Amino acid sequence: MERFFANPVTSSTSACLRLLDANLDRAREGLRVLEDWCRFSLDRPDLVARSKDLRQRLGRQHHERFKLARHSATDPAAGLAHPAQLERLEDSAILAANAARVQEALRVLEEFGRRDEPELAAEAAAIRYLIYDLEVDLIQASRLEPGRRELLRRAHLYLVTSPVPDLEAVVAAALAAGVRLVQYRAKPVNGPGGVPPLEDDQRLEQARRLKTLCAQAGALFLVNDRIDIALAVEADGVHLGQGDLPPAVARRLLGPERLIGRSTHRLEQLQQAMRDGCDYVGVGPVNATPTKPGRAPVGLAYVSEATAASAIPCFAIGGIDAGNLAAVRAAGATRVAVVRAITEADDPAAATAALLAGLETEA
């Protein structure tokens, strides 16, 4: 009786193609887990980009011939689970398991692709070493204190400085009382008793000292207008007026991690700020204020419009103090920015505490 045997070469080739297909799937799936964690939990566009780039590089190597060899119905390990998978309850365990999954799959691709798929093997080897570095960066990012945008979301009282005597002492007192968001604004004060403009070296030194105070208190530190000074002191971001550099230009200079705020005076400007990728907006001036001479107040109507329409944190600003805070809250604001209410207070710490109490937020 004549017997027919499968061609061992053909059988081996098919098995190798299935093996490569399975491990490409495994590596790409693991990378997607890491990518989504970077995107939705860490809020790290830089790590998202690195993960996505590696996943897409593997995708370009996932040829149709591998997929056509796939036959899950005859795979003895399809659907096979391990009890250890049920023990991955912590985020760190999930990240570690998926990083290992990618690394192991890449090693298989490298070993079995070397004979017939040298391009795939070389790419797998290159990506495997990049994954080692990515895993370390993921671990470090996951262990960091809350990111800038999370700290911004938690902030409800925003101190904007003015050139007053003993500015560092004023800021230190406000930080001790609970302020967690500070903007360095060194605009000259005109008129009798006004403060002349500082030289750039003076601004730089003052910004550096305030940045140190904020870092010690775990507070965010931003610089008004001056991106160069913000970069020089490693500030957490900048605040831009309507006449300053466009946010897109600021983002290119600052990178993806730092914050960008934008002053807005009407709803169209707020909507544009959101389209521009700003992280927060100022809404005002609510009342007439010497900080913005000649600027007509927008009143509480715009505060109500802004808080209803904004998808990013918005801070009502302009002549707000403990005496009129209730009306601002009634208009819908949960966040306010102040200048004179703290910088010109007899007791900056007490003024800060009163504002925080009025906002019904924790220090």
For residue 72, give the DSSP letter: G
Question: In whole angstroms, what is the distance from residue 179 CA to residue 160 CA?
Answer: 11
Residue 280: beta bridge partners? 261
The runs of H, that is alpha helices, within 192-315 are 200-217, 227-232, 247-254, 267-275, 299-309
Backbone angles phi, psi at 2, to 5 degrees: -75, 135
Whether residue 185 lies in the annotated active site: yes
Contact (CB, 8 A) for 225 and 238 = yes
Catalytic residue among 203, 258, 262, 292: 292
DSSP 146-195: PPHHHHHHH--EEEE--S-TTHHHHHHHHHHHT--EEEE--PPPPSTT--
Contact (CB, 8 A) for 109 and 20 = yes
Whether residue 263 lies in the annotated active site: yes
Of 216, 217, 211, nearest to 238 by C-alpha is: 211
Q: What is the chain's Cα-based Rg?
A: 28
Catalytic residue among 50, 55, 101, 185: 185
Question: Residue 13: in which H helix or E strand, if any?
Answer: helix 8-37
Residues 6+ apart with CB under 8 A from 39: 45, 48
Q: 3-state DSSP: the chain helix, strand, coil percent, rounded to 5? A: 55, 10, 35
Tokens of 224: 């008004």
Catalytic residue among 162, 263, 310, 335: 263
Catalytic residues: 185, 263, 292
